[in-house]
Amino acid sequence: MDGPTLAVSICGDVLDRTSAQALEVSLGPGLQCMSAVHWHCLMVLDDLKAAADASVRENELAPAEFLYEQVVETIESWKCSPSWQASDCRRPLLYLLMNTQLTKAYFHMKTQDRSGFIRTVFEILDLTGGSHRAGPLGSCVFHPHMLAVTMIASWSTVVPAFPSTSITECIAHLSSLNYAQQRHGIAILKRCTDQNKPFEPTDLPAAFCSFYAMRDPMLCFGKRLTKPDHIFGGLDLVQLRKIDKETRGSINKVEADRGWRITPFEDYDLADN
C-alpha cells in the first residue's frame, strides 16, 4: 500500500456518472494490486517497442536498436521472477517478448548485422523450444531459422541442427505469410528438382537469400497490447472482489491507523455495473 500523494476534486454537474466513478476508482488509491502493477509495467514496455518501430520508419536506427534491446533485456530479467511466473500477465509478457525479438531479427536484416541476426534467431528458438508450429507464427520463426542456418553453412562446417523438412513442407511454412521476404525464398526453393527431399542449406544459397538480396520495408511484428477493462490505475477489480470480508477489514484498519485513504471495497464491487 502507498500513502496518498495527490488530492483531486472535480466541480460541476456530472453528466456521465459511470465515467466519473471509473475516474474515482483509478485516481491514486492507497491499495495496489500486483496484477495492476504488472500491467502498468507491460504498457510502458509496449510503448517503448512502439517507439522503436516508429524510429525505424523514420530511419532513426540507433535509438531503435537501443529501445529493442532495452525491452528484451527488461523482459528477460522479469520473466523468471516468481511474481511474474505466477502472474496472469505472464502470457502477454511473453507475447511482447516474442514480437520484439521477431522485429529485432528483421531489424538486423535491415542493418545487415549478420551476427546480431543469427544471435536473435537462436534466442527466438529458445523461446519456442525450437519448434515450428503450423500457421503465421510458425512461419515467422521458420523463415529466419532457415536463413540463419543457411548463412552459418556458408562459412562453417559445423551447422546447427535444422528440423528434417522437405522442400514442399518448407514452401508450405513460408506460404503462411505473404511477405516479400518469404516469397523470395519460395521462388528459390521451387527451383529444386526434387521437391520431396529434405531441405539442405545448399537449396537456399546464402548469397541469394533474402537477408542479402532484399531491401524491403522493415517488418514490425505484433499488435499493441490492450489493458483489460478490470484494471483501474493500481487496482485490479477482479482481485479486489475476491478479498474476503475479514481481510478487507484488516486492510481498512491499517489504512485508518496510518491516516491513508480508506479503500471503499463496496464501490469497487459495483464499479463496472
CA atoms of 225 and 87, how far apart (whole Å): 16
Per-residue confidence (pLDDT) for residue 124, from 0 to 100:
94
* Cα 236-237-242 angle, rounded to 5 deg: 105
The domain spans of the chain are 17-31+234-269, 34-213
Strands 235-236 and 231-232: antiparallel
Closest listed residue to residue 181, CA positions, set 202, 204, 155: 204
- Which superfamily, per CATH, for 34-213? Tetratricopeptide repeat domain (1.25.40.10)
Per-residue confidence (pLDDT) for residue 30, from 0 to 100:
64
* Cα 230-233-236 angle, rounded to 5 deg: 35
CA atoms of 60 and 232, how far apart (whole Å): 35
Closest listed residue to residue 26, CA positions, set 192, 230, 244, 193: 230
On the 0-12 / 13-18 / 19+ scale of CB atoms within 10 A, 93 is buried
pTM above 0.85, yes or no: no
The cell numbers describing 170, all together, are: 518448407
Task: Give the amino acid at 1.
Answer: M
Contact 258, 252 (CB under 8 A): no
Per-residue confidence (pLDDT) for residue 22, from 0 to 100:
59
Q: Tens-of-pLDDT digits for all 273 residues of the chain?
A: 344 445 556 667 777 766 666 565 555 446 778 889 899 999 999 999 999 999 999 999 999 999 999 999 999 999 888 888 888 899 999 999 999 999 999 999 999 999 999 999 999 999 888 766 666 777 788 999 999 999 999 998 888 888 889 999 999 989 888 888 889 999 999 999 999 999 999 999 999 999 998 776 788 898 999 999 888 878 888 888 888 999 999 989 988 887 777 888 888 776 554
In the chain, where does DSSP find H-type helix? 17-26, 34-57, 61-78, 82-85, 90-110, 114-128, 136-153, 167-174, 180-189, 210-213, 237-242, 245-257, 265-269
The cell numbers describing 240, all together, are: 479486489
